[in-house]
Amino acid sequence: MYSEKTLEFEQYVVFFKELALSLGLSIMAVFLVVLIITGSIPVTFLVLLAVVLVDLFLFALIHYWDLTLNNIIVVNLVIGLGLSVDYSAHIAHTYLVVEPPVEFSNAQKRKYKAQVALSQMGSSVIHGGFSTFIAICVVGAAKSYIFVVFFKMWFGIIVFGMTNGFILLPIILSLIGPLPDLEAKKKLFKERTSLRMSTHKL
């Protein structure tokens, strides 16, 4: 029969393989969902960068907060990928749909779109992060190891996710963000709509 120590040892044989698999599948899911929402490959990669950086920062937090890499940490790392998307995807999507003044240069258009995206969605991102933080403060008061780990990890997810979504992503978008041709998209949409209507009439 297997002892408790044997089972504990055997779980670490496949630990890093399962960790890499879980994080890899989560990143793929984030990429596909954000790509469907935004319809822009450059913006999708920028959002993915902001999300992956959250987990990278969490690994540093694990080290400096004297946590041990175990199953509970892995669950929170995967949750961190999904939760931090919320802090970046909304601002990125708003950046894409904002129409800058025509007379602006490309650099001015990027800066304008990033500023408007922040002004429209920034408060919602802050409120979402702050409400989540209030909720985990109750968990942080517990003495159980699981609740302590959850508090520390979620604290890092909220801080790093909001920082990347509210500061890093808008700065990158204001510097190298894509400038989609909204007029061309509107024209194409009208053409497709009129084509569908004429087909239905036939």
- How many residues are listed for the chain in this entry? 202
Q: According to the model, what pLDDT value does residue 159 have?
A: 93
Q: Read off the pTM.
A: 0.81
Q: According to the model, what pLDDT value does residue 4 have?
A: 44
Q: Output the six-digit token pair for 141.
A: 């008061």
Q: According to the model, what pLDDT value does residue 187 have?
A: 62
Domains in the chain and their CATH numbers?
A: 11-180 (1.20.1640.10)
Q: According to the model, what pLDDT value does residue 122 have?
A: 84
Q: Average pLDDT of each block of 10 consecutive residues along the chain (202 residues)?
A: 48 77 93 92 94 94 87 89 90 90 89 92 87 83 83 92 92 90 60 63 55
Q: According to the model, what pLDDT value does residue 190 have?
A: 67
Tally Cβ neighbours within 10 Å of residue 135.
10
Cα–Cα dist 115/169, whole Å: 12
Q: According to the model, what pLDDT value does residue 28 have?
A: 95
Q: According to the model, what pLDDT value does residue 158 have?
A: 93
Q: According to the model, what pLDDT value does residue 146 have?
A: 85
Half-sphere exposure of 196 (CA within 13 A, CB side): 6
Please answer whether residues 145 and 197 qualify as being in contact, where contact means their C-beta atoms are separated by less than 8 angstroms. Answer: no
Q: According to the model, what pLDDT value does residue 1 have?
A: 44
Q: Which phi and psi (to 5°) does residue 105 adopt?
A: -75, 170
Q: According to the model, what pLDDT value does residue 54 have?
A: 95
Q: According to the model, what pLDDT value does residue 11 have?
A: 62
Q: According to the model, what pLDDT value does residue 185 have?
A: 59
Cα–Cα dist 127/26, whole Å: 25
